[in-house]
Amino acid sequence: MLSFKPIQIEDKETITAFTYPNNLLNCDYAFANMCSWRFLYKSEYAIHDRFLYVRFYFKANEHEHLAYMFPVGDGDLKQAIDRMKSDAESLGHVLLLLGVTPDAKVALDKLLPNVFSFSMERNYYDYIYLHEDLISLKGKKYQSKRNHINKFKKQYDYTYLPFTKEIIPDCIALENVWYEAHKVGVDDERLSHERRSMRFAMEHSSELGLLGGALVVDNKIIAFTYGSPINNKIFNIHVEKADIRYEGAFSVINQEFTKQIPQKYVFINREEDLGIPGLRKSKLSYHPHLLLEKNSAIMRGR
């Protein structure tokens, strides 16, 4: 049987020993995401026979469901799936995997033909860009981005600051402004969860290994962002916030921060759009190198 335990900050080295050397592209495997969202998903992990297993709970239609991430490791994959199946059944659930990428889907179908039913989840596709594209913004397709940046630079005398504990209170103050401008009704649950995750991450930025930055205009932070590695080749942007009164601030913080990300990270993952029209439009406007398909995979009844 698998022995699961809650994901804690002190588990970073143990978990990233599996995720960093792997070729995973999925933002769900970024340790900072796993840890800072644990409050919502009750995320747990187990290590057994050269595999890392992650399980979590999510709510749908007022019911709580158990789900697993695709196992990470180099052991016997069929045995790994069997272990997850037994674990799910012991808790009264059918085995359900979320965030299953095309390569994982192929592996499951090849190993266990017709055992899983797959459903594409467009709202959870990851937007993946070439690092160099986000820095250079070359070509006609990025003309509007360059225009926004040039207009901002002509209008404002700004400074870029690296993300440190000293600027976190000012970043939180900006997030409060952003939250008030975007919340729907008295209490938008999604934004409330996001801000809880964000504050945990910022308060534990060094332990989580976050890299980030902020824009300062007139001694005031008007934009900030941060992220962390998914593996040794792909970097994940977790959060990007800006005061929308400063036109072009989003484009500038995006470019300035991307310049600071080490060049060994060939790809930048800017996560999902969650089906939010404005967010989808914004992420598409940066012309992703890859829209990473993600599926749910549920074991069929036998």
Amino acid found at 82: D
Contact in structure between 105 and 118 (CB atoms under 8 Å)? yes
Question: Hey, which bits of 96-165 come out as E strands?
Answer: 96-100, 116-120, 126-130, 158-162
Please report the pLDDT score of residue 186 as a whole number. Answer: 45
pLDDT in tens, 234-270: 999 999 999 989 999 999 999 999 999 999 999 999 9
Please report the pLDDT score of residue 290 as a whole number. Answer: 98
Domains and CATH numbers, the chain: 5-125+294-299 (3.40.630.30), 127-291 (3.40.630.30)
Residue 46 bridge partners (DSSP) = 53
Over residues 138-160, mean pLDDT:
96
Q: Which of 274, 149, 263, 278 is nearest to 215 (CA)?
A: 149
Q: How many CB atoms lie within 10 A of CB 149?
A: 20
Q: CA 242 → CA 154, 192, 225, 252, 265, distances in Å?
A: 18, 17, 9, 10, 24
Over residues 9-24, mean pLDDT:
96
Q: Which of 67, 77, 70 is nearest to 23 (CA)?
A: 70
Q: Please give the Cα distance from 98 to 276 (Å, whole number).
A: 20
Contact in structure between 234 and 25 (CB atoms under 8 Å)? yes
Please report the pLDDT score of residue 190 as a whole number. Answer: 83
Q: Which residue has the tokens 């057994």?
A: 48
Q: What token pair was written down for 292? A: 């990473």
Mean pLDDT (the chain, rounded): 94
Please report the pLDDT score of residue 183 as a whole number. Answer: 67
Q: CA 59 → CA 38, 84, 258, 259, 296, distances in Å?
A: 14, 20, 34, 38, 15
Over residues 184-208, mean pLDDT:
85
Global pTM? 0.95
pLDDT in tens, 217-226: 999 999 999 9
Please report the pLDDT score of residue 87 as a whole number. Answer: 98
